[in-house]
Structure 1
Amino acid sequence: MNGDSFVPAPIAQLPWKLIFLVLAIGLFGGIVQYSAAGGSVMPWALPQGIRFVAFLGMACLMSYIHPDRFKAAAFPAYVIILVMLIGVELLGFVGGGAQRWLDLGFIRVQPSEWMKPVIILAVARFYDLLPPGEIRSWSAIWPAGALIGVPASLILIQPDLGTASMVVFGGLAVMFLAGLPLRLFVGGAAAVAIVVPVAFHFLHDYQQKRVTIFLNPEADPLGAGYHISQSKIAIGSGGIFGKGFLHGTQSHLDYLPEGHTDFVFATMAEEWGLLGGLFLIFCFFLIIRWGMGVALDTKGRFARLTAAGLTTTIFFYVAINLMMVMGLAPVVGIPLPLFSYGGSAMMTVMLCLGMLMSIDRENRRDLGRH
C-alpha cells in the first residue's frame, strides 16, 4: 500500500480511465436495455448487468497475468478451440437454424467466439517466432493463412458469416501489422473482388438475401429488408436530441426487430438522438485509441502485435455493427460490444481488454525500471 494513499497499490495501478469508459458504455447499455423492455429490469437489463460486472472483474484479474503466459498459451489454446469447432460440426447443438454451440450439460459454449481473440494470439505468436529476415518470403504467408483459414472455414459452414469474417479480419490485421508487403493485401483484395460473384452462389439462401437486400433494402421492405428499413427509421426519427427516455416508438411497438441485441444502437438513437450516438462512438474511440497507445508503447514483438490485433478486433466489432444498423453493410449478426444484450460478444471483448490491460501493466512496469 502506498503511504500517501489508502488505496492498495494493485488496485491503484489498474487503468482506471479505461475502466471508467467501459463502465460508461455498460451503464448506458443497461439503461437502453431497461427502456427496450418497456421500463423493466427484466428480462434484459438485470442479467446484462450481472454479466457485465462478472466479465469486467474477469478482465481486471487478467491484467495481473504476465503477457508471457498468453504467449505460451497461444498455440495450445488455438488447438483446443479448433478441436471444439470440429466438435461443433459433429455434435453441436442446433439453434435458430445454425449449429454453433457445444452443449456441455451445465452450459452451452460457442467456440467460434473464443476464436476471435485466440486467432490474434496464434498469428502474433507465429510472427514472433519467424526470423525478421523472412517476413517478405512465402514462408511468412502460407502458415498464417492456414492458421486463419481453417477455423474460418469451420465457422462459415455452421453457418456464421459474421464471426467467420471477424476471425479473418483479425488475423489479416495482424499479418498487415507484422510488416507483410502492402502489395499482397492489394492483390488479395483484387482476388476477393473477382471471387465474390462466384462465392455468392455458394452462400445459404438467407445469406444471399442479406447481400441483395443490403444493395436494395426497399426491394422487400416488409420481408428481408425489414430490419434495415426499420433501423434507419428509428435512427432518423431520433433527430439530434432524441424522443426522450422510454419514449421510443419503433422498439416499444415492436417495429424494430432485435432492438435489444444487434440493432440496439437504433433503439438508443431513437431515444437519445445524434448526441447519444456521438457520445457512445466517442467512448469507443477513446478505448480504441488507448489500445493502440498500449501497442505503440510495447517493446516485445508478440505483445505489440497482440495489443494491436486485439484493439483492431474491438474496432471491427464497433465498425461492422454501426455500418450494419445504418444500412452501410449487410446484416451479419455482429453485436455492438458491451452494449448489445448477450454474453458471448461481451465475454470476447472483455478477454481482449483483459489481455490489453496485462500488456499495459507490463509496459508501465518496464517504464518504472528505467
Structure 2
Amino acid sequence: MNSLLFSPFQVGQVKLPNRIVVAPMCQYSANDGCANDWHLMHLMQLAVSGAGLIVLEATAVERHARITHGCLGLYNDVNEAALVRVMSSARAVSPAGTRWGIQLGHAGRKASAQRSWEGRGALGARESPWETEAPSEISFADGWHTPREMTKQDIDRVRNAFVEAALRAARAGFDVVEIHAAHGYLLHQFLSPLANHRVDEYGGSLENRARFPLEVARAVREALPPNVAFGFRITGTDWRPDGITIDEAVVLADALKSVGVDYVCVASGGVAPASIPVQAGYQVHLAAEVKERTGIVTRTVGMIADSHQAESVLTSGQADLVALARAFIDDPRWPWHAAEALGDLEALGDLEEIKYPGQYERGGAVHWPGAALRRNGVEQVAS
C-alpha cells in the first residue's frame, strides 16, 4: 500500500520527502532568546523522527516581541549563533531529505507573559514585565497589561524586524520560513476586529486590517532567496460572530498567495476568550475551505494524532500537509508507527534506507509494534 501521507510534496522550490510536519511547539526555555541544550535535545529527538518538515517554535523578531522570558528569538547575532549551533547538531542526525522550518512572530498584547507552568497570565511587577504594543489599547483579558497603540513608525519597525529575522533564518540554513499570524499574536491582532479598533488605514475594513500582515508578507518574500519556501499561519475563525470568519480567512489566503506566499497553515482562536469545540481534527474543515476556494497549498493542524485520521485528511483533499505537535511529544517516533499502521513500511524505505538511525535498528526490531522490521519481505529479528 502506498499512502499519501508518505508521498513527497513540493512547497515552493522545497521538496518534502513526505507530508508529515512537526508543528511549532513553544518550549519557553531560551536564555534571552538564545537556544540552549534543551533545544538541542528537543530538536535532535525530532530530527530522527522521519517527519518531512520540522518547524521550530514561535521565534520572536524583537526582544520585547517574545511571549515570555523563555521564548526563542532571532533578533541579534548572539541568538543567531546559538541557533546555528543547535541546528548543526540536529541536521547532522536527521535523515537525508529532512527539511527544517522556523516560525517567526511577535506576541503583541500577549507578550510579557508567564511561562505555561508559571500560570500563563501576565507577568507581575516582580517578574520583570515589559511594555507591550498592539494595534489598539485593548487588553487581551482581565488582568493583562494594557498595550500601547502602535504608531506608523512602530509598524514600519516591526515589519523590518520580520525581514531581518527572516534573513537570519535563511543565513542559518532554514528551508522554510513561516510567519505567525494566528493564535492571538500581533499580526492576528491586526486582522481581528476583536483586537483592532484603529481608525486609520490599518483598521476598519478587512482590506485595512490585512494591510500590515500583507506588508510583512511582501517585504519578507522580496528579501528571502527564492529557494526558501515561505508560509503563513493564519486564523480560520475567532469562534465568535464579531471576529474573523472563514470568508475573511479565504480572502486573506488569496491575497497572501498573490504576493508569493507558498502555503498557509490554518489554525483558529486565541485572540479573545471564546468557546472552541476542541476535538479530534476540529480545524480541518477550515483548511479544507481555504484550500478549495483559493487553491493555495494548505496545511492543517490541531488534535490530529491518529495515522488513519491524517491519511484520510489527505486522501479526501481537505489539506496538502498535516501538522502534529502533541502527538510528537507523546511519541517522537510517530512516523515509524504511522508507516506500520498504514501498511506502508516501504514508503520509509528498506532497512538500509528507513528513516531511523542505524543505532536504533536493533531496538526497533524488538520494540516497534509488530515485533519485527521487514527487509525485502523477510522479517529481520534481533539476535
Same fold (TM over 0.5): no
Q: TM-score, normalised by structure 1?
A: 0.31
Higher helix share: 1
Greater relative contact order structure (CA < 8 Å, 6+ sep): 1
| TM-score normalised per structure 2 | 0.30
Name the structure with the higher strand share: 2
